[in-house]
Amino acid sequence: ADPTILITPQYPEGLLIPVMAIPKEEIVDTNGAGDAFVGAFLAMLSMGRPLEEACRAGHWVAGQVIRQSGVHFDPAHRPTF
């Protein structure tokens, strides 16, 4: 639930990217959340998207993953970041 700290030459002191709150009762399994974040983050970067947007995409995908048991993602879901 803590924000992601983005440190770049543009933000040498760090830029906090807040995480959308997820109600505790919706959190089922946190396995794979970090991998999901990194995958979405890198996918957005590979498409030339800004770092802040890549972080929000990572947060969104990780938020979807922790709402289900096991590590999988339903491609029918569309991001809302």
| Per-position pLDDT tens, the chain of length 81 | 899 999 999 999 999 999 999 999 999 999 999 999 999 999 999 999 999 999 999 999 999 999 988 766 667 776 666
Predicted model pTM: 0.82
**Residue 74 known to be catalytic:** no
Q: 2, 29, 35, 74: which is the annotated catalytic residue? A: 35
Instruction: Give the three-state DSSP class for 10.
Output: coil
Residue 71 is predicted with a pLDDT of 63
Q: Which residue has the tokens 């959308």?
A: 20
C-alpha dist (Å) from residue 15 to 9, 10, 19, 78: 11, 9, 13, 26
Residue 30's nearest CA partner among 63, 78, 76, 77 is 63
